[in-house]
Structure formats: structure tokens, C-alpha cells
Amino acid sequence: MKQTNEIDIHDNIVCDTSFLSIVKITGADAKTFLQGQFSNDVNLLTENNSQLSSYNSPKGRLYASFRLLKSGRDFLMLLPSEVTESIIKRLRMFIMRSNVNIENISDNWKSIGLSGFSITSEINQAPQEANNVLTNKGTTYISLPGVTKRLLALGPEESIKQLTNRLTEKNLLVNANHWKRLDIHAGLPNIYTATQESFVAQMVNLQFINGLSFTKGCYPGQEVIARMRYLGKLKKRMYRITINSDIAPNPGENLYLGGNSQSIGKIVDAQPNNQGRIDALAVIQNSACDQGEIYVNDAALSLTELPYAVVAD
């Protein structure tokens, strides 16, 4: 299996996505329950679209960011495995008497990432627009934002195994870090154990990538998130950066201005690229970006453009 530092982001690849878990939410009250827990408007979901969303603490701090989709009357969440059980445990605390069941189905359902215009064209009836969903012969395909065409396929383990075997006859199989790198280039944040409750939703740009609804009803953290929009000034936000090093820092590691020991930001995620450097996302104080060189683990970094518009407060 190829490593991400051996691959260009535009290459046609089949990508291991085993770092993601698949959680199924069922029951007659599932939609109402999720609408009261998540930051996006669950009522807008259909079987033809997916939704970026988040689960937050009462203080508005992120427990998780994830992709949510609808399957009949059921819902599927895709999120990093290392935070999955803590999220399931917390959601179950609030079910009370609601008819809702939450189950990690990752033992039986799997996912695989497909990236590149040629390989994604090999999928019949694949969704074309970012965030759209199409299910074909039991396998669900989600079109994801990115610098190249991306599909995430999920379904029963045997179906995903057959799809992987077919596509890897002509295309490279790449490790999971490459999919994380593609998320970095797309400006999509993943929240890991080390960064849980580190960021308010707006700090990781969820307001710019359709991960927040400001018109739905209450959910945990909603008051803080709404206050930040209407009354506050966002002092930190997520930037895409390139680090002048070949050693990737871990999520949650601090950033510093040169000659200063006070942290001015944190790494969200970082992965090696094929040019001997590190591609990363980091939440940084806006005021620090024009005050001199910024470092992480003694390596200097530079700011890189995000693929979406960022509107200053």
C-alpha cells in the first residue's frame, strides 16, 4: 500500500478509509432526536444529499465533526473511529424515552475512498455534485468536496471488498493518511481525541462549509455559537498551512510566534505531502498571522489558500 508522501493529490487512487467509523441511528424518533443534538438542520436531509455537521458541548466546543446521511427512515454518521464510542455514549445519555437506537455498525459495514477524475468515472451513476448521494446495488456513494473529484463508498463489507478488488486492478491503493490529506486540501476539519472541546464550531470554519444552521431550533452549544455570530468577534479561525518539515505534528500541538512562548494556535490535522513538506489545517489567532513567522515544533510554516471563501467578521 502506497504512502501519502508518494502520491500527488490529483492522482487516481483507491484510498483506505478505515480510520472512519459508520454509526447507524434508527427508530421512529430518530430525526427529531438528532435535530435536537446536531448543529445542522437534519430536516433538510434527503436520501440524495449528505450533510456536514457537528456535535458540541453546552459551551459550544466541538466533540466531533462528521458527515450525516439519510437511508430510508434511518441515518448514518461517518466520523473518526477514535472519538466514535465517546460520541455514541454521550448521545445515548439523552435518548430518555425516545424511540431511538444508536449502533456502531463498522464491523459489518465498511467504506473506501476514491479520488481522481478517471477512477470516479468508473462508477456507474455516481453522484456528480459535492455532498450528493446515490445508492447503486447496495453500495452508497457520497460525492465530497476537494481539489479533485472524490467519492466515498460505503456498504456491507463484502460489497466494499469486491469494489476495492475491482478498482485496484488498474489503480493504486493508498493508506488512510492520504484521505486525511485530501480533507486538508478541501479545508474539511476532522476532530480527534486530542482536539475534542478545543474549538468552537466557527473556529474550524463550519459556517463557511455548510456545517451550521442558524435558523433551526436549539441544540447543545447553540447559544454560544449563535452569540459568536451575532454579538462576538471571531478571534481565531482555521487556516490551511504548509510546514517546512517532513515530520507531521500531531493534532492538538501548539503553534508559536518566533521568540514567543505563548501559544497562538493548534494543529487540527497534518499529513506529509509528496514534496518533502507537511500539509496541515490549524486554528490560529487572526492577529498573529501578520506579526512574524509562525512555528510548530521549531519548523516554520506558511499560510496557503483555502478552496472556499472566508468572510471576515
The reported pLDDT for the residue numbered 1 is 75
Q: What average pLDDT does range 247-255 have in this prediction?
A: 98
Do the beta carbons of residue 303 and residue 239 sit within 8 Å? Answer: yes
**Any idea where the domains of the chain sit in the sequence?**
4-186
Assess whether pLDDT exceeds 90 at residue 243.
yes
How confident is the model over 183-218, as pLDDT tens digits?
999 999 999 999 999 999 999 999 999 999 999 989
How confident is the model over 83-138, as pLDDT tens digits?
999 999 999 999 999 999 999 999 999 999 999 988 888 898 899 999 999 999 89
Taking the C-alpha atoms of residue 142 and residue 152, their distance in angstroms, rounded to an integer, is 5
pLDDT band at 233 (very low <50, low <70, confident <90, very high): confident
The reported pLDDT for the residue numbered 162 is 96
Consecutive H or E run containing 179: helix 176-186
What's the mean per-residue pLDDT of the chain?
Answer: 95
For 301, the 3-state DSSP assignment is strand
pLDDT band at 313 (very low <50, low <70, confident <90, very high): low
The reported pLDDT for the residue numbered 2 is 72
Bridge partners, 24 (sequence order): 76, 103
Which string of DSSP letters, residue by residue, matches 103-141? EE-TTTEEEEEEESHHHHTTSTT---STTBEEEETTEEE
Q: What dotted CATH number matches 4-186?
A: 3.30.1360.120
Q: What is the dihedral of CA 125, 43, 22, 177, to 10 degrees?
A: 70
The reported pLDDT for the residue numbered 194 is 98
The reported pLDDT for the residue numbered 45 is 97
Taking the C-alpha atoms of residue 101 and residue 82, their distance in angstroms, rounded to an integer, is 21
Taking the C-alpha atoms of residue 287 and residue 218, their distance in angstroms, rounded to an integer, is 32
CA end-to-end span of the chain:
44
194 — alpha (psi -120 to 50), left (phi > 0) or beta?
Answer: alpha
pTM tops 0.85, yes or no: yes
In a 10 Å sphere around its CB, with 0-12 CB exposed, 13-18 middle and 19+ buried, how is residue 225 labelled?
buried
Do the beta carbons of residue 197 and residue 203 sit within 8 Å? Answer: no
In the numeric block, the cell 498571522 is attached to 289
